[in-house]
Amino acid sequence: MTVRLLPCGRRAVLVELDDVLGFQAALARLGPAGVEELVPAARTLLVRFDPAVTDADRLGALLREVSPVDSAVSASAEVVIPVRYDGEDLADVAAEAGLRISEVIARHSAGSYVSAFCGFAPGFAYLSGSDPALHVSRRSTPRTRIPAGSVAIAGEYSAVYPSASPGGWRLLGRTDVPVWDVERDPPNLLPPGTRVRFEAVTA
């Protein structure tokens, strides 16, 4: 596996690689001295460290020796999200994918997803594991407001909108499950590494 290490100030190293979740899981198992936080993104992992305990050179040498593990082994319990598949973009997604609407629903709800990283808004988890047939483009014109609880897809990811916001993802349906709740501890239902399954419901 090829990794690229980039310094980020005195307290962090940015690791560029493909298998972010597997690398993060392996590093978390090792528990290197001085590592304070791991922040995953689509193709990078930010490793924050305490410069009083270690430094970028020592940490970099260790990072180059890490081998990714199966991230599913260390993932948390599966979160099941019931979805009413009545989204405004279902027909467009079906047309782009060359599938019937029923097939889009069946493929999306059959997927096994993992929260790869969070971004865009608090609690907005980018869920990897989509059926390749559902890797569709974003809308050419984003909507000015997407309701909280909207279940959507774009590119290789699925997501649940944690709050009402603008967005250009394709809407497949909606759920009543709050993925972000400031009254909950922790507020984020889908932190990185969480396994997720969507379940089609009619009510």
Q: Show me where the domains of the chain are located.
A: 4-70, 79-201
Q: Is the pLDDT of residue 198 over 50?
A: yes
**Tell me: the pLDDT tens digits for 182-192?**
999 989 999 98
Asked if 139 and 179 touch (Cβ cutoff 8 Å), the reply is no
- Check pLDDT > 80 for residue 2: no
Over residues 66-80, the mean pLDDT reads 71
Which pLDDT does position 73 carry in this prediction?
Answer: 47
The CATH code that applies to domain 4-70 is 3.30.1360.40
pLDDT at 41: 84
Mean pLDDT of 89-118: 95
Answer yes or no: are the C-beta atoms of 81 and 194 closer than 8 Å. Answer: no
Average pLDDT across the chain, whole number: 91
Confidence of residue 202 (pLDDT cuts 50, 70, 90): confident
Q: What is the rounded average pLDDT of the residues 173-181? A: 96
Which range of 26-40, 69-83, 149-163, 185-199 scores highest in mean pLDDT? It is: 149-163
79-201 topology per CATH:
Cyclophilin (2.40.100)
Q: Are 158 and 190 in contact (CB under 8 A)?
A: no
Per-residue pLDDT for 74 more than 80? no
